[in-house]
Amino acid sequence: MHPILFASLVVITTSLMGSSFAIGKIGLNYFSPLLLVGLRFTLAGILMALLTWRKPLPTSIRDWGKVLVIGFFQTASVMGCIFLSLRTITAGESSILTFMNPLLVVIWGTLFLGMKYRFAQWLGVVIGMVGVFITLGFHLQWETGTLFGIGSAVAWSIATILVKKWGVAFNVWVMTAYQMLFGGALLILMGVTLETPYMVITPESLLVVGWLAVMASIVQFATWFYLLQKGDPGRTSAFLFLAPFFGVLSGWLLLDERIQWHVYVGGLFIFAGIFLVNWTFAKKKALSRQPAETKRAGA
C-alpha cells in the first residue's frame, strides 16, 4: 500500500475512533449507555448488510461462526466492557486501558502467529503506551471498572489477531456488516438486562446515533479491517495510540474541554512510539531486499 494512502486511512479511522468518545458522551444525554452503543452497531450492521447483499457471503456454518466470533470480541465485548467500565472509572481511564491493546497484539502475534518483532518495536509500543497515559493525565485507579477496561483491551487484541488470521477469506464489507450486526444485537440485549434503559428522541439524538452508526462504525470499522488485512497487525495497531489523542482534541472542539500541557507532551511520546515501530519495519524490509539486489547486480 502506498504510504500516503496508508497514512490517510490511519488518520481517518483513528480520528473517528477518538471522536466517538466525545460524540458518545453527547449521546448519553438521550440514551442509556449500553442501549446507545447497541443501537449504534445494530443500525450500522443493518445498513451495511443492505449495502452488501450482492457481495459474496460466507458459504459455510464454520465461516459464519468465525464472523460471529469476531463480532463477539470486536463489537460486543470491546464496547460492552468500555461502557461497563464507565460506571466506576472515568472515560479517560477507560480509554487508557482500552488502547493498551497494541502491546497485547504484539504479544499474541508473537505467541500464536509466529511473528518476529525487534527490540526497538517493543520499545516503540511501550513508549506509545506511556504517551497515552501522559495524554490522559496520569490518572488510573484500581476499581471494578479497571477490570472491564482491561477486558476491552484483551478483547480488541484478540479480535485484531482473528481478523488478521481469518479476515482474508471474507469480503471486508460483508465481515464488517455482520460482525457489527451480531455484536449490536448482543449489546441491546445487555442494555435491557444490565441497566435501566431510557431513550429520548430529538433531532440531535437522531443525528448522534446516525453519526455513530455510519461514520464511527461503518466507515471506521471497514477502514480498520482493510488496514489489518493489508499490513502487519502489530504495526497497524501501533497507530491506535493516535485515537485517544484525537479523543482529547474532539473533546476540546465539541465539549469545550480544556487541553492541558500533558496532552502535548503525551502527543510527542505517541508519535515517537509510532515512529519506532514503523521505522524498524522499513529498515528490516530494506535489509531483506539487499542480498537479492546484490545477487542480481553480480549476475
Q: How far is residue 144's CA from residue 150's CA, in Å, rounded to a whole number?
A: 10
pLDDT at position 97: 74
In order along the chain (299 residues), what is the average pLDDT of each group of 10 residues?
Answer: 82 87 84 89 92 87 92 90 74 71 76 76 80 67 74 88 82 86 91 87 93 89 80 71 78 75 73 69 46 43
Q: How far apart are the C-alpha atoms of 220 and 117, rounded to whole Å?
A: 27
pLDDT confidence of residue 39: 93
